[in-house]
């Protein structure tokens, strides 16, 4: 219950989560910490998985998402 209240308060103030995988890698919101070879399921420069969630405050990045990128 406490976590739900905290998340609701942060969302109300404009803090949002950067947590989309299977999107194109964007260095302004993602931090690539690992690369894997591209395959049939993942194109080049596509986020394969998220290792640590990232957060935005309105339009500013508070913490970039740590991701694995296909290359």
Please give the pLDDT value at position 21. 77
Could you tell me the two tokens for 47? 């986020």
Could you tell me the two tokens for 58? 């309105």
pTM of the predicted protein model: 0.81
pLDDT digits (tens, 9 = 90+) for 27-54: 999 999 999 999 888 899 999 999 999 9
Q: Are 69 and 42 in contact (CB under 8 A)?
A: no
């Amino acid at each position: 219950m406490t976590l739900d209240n905290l998340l609701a308060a942060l969302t109300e103030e404009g803090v949002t989560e950067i947590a989309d995988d299977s999107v194109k890698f964007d260095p302004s919101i993602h931090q690539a910490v690992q690369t894997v070879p591209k395959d049939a399921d993942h194109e080049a420069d596509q986020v394969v998985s998220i290792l640590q969630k990232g957060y935005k405050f309105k339009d500013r990045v508070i913490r970039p998402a740590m991701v694995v990128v296909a290359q």
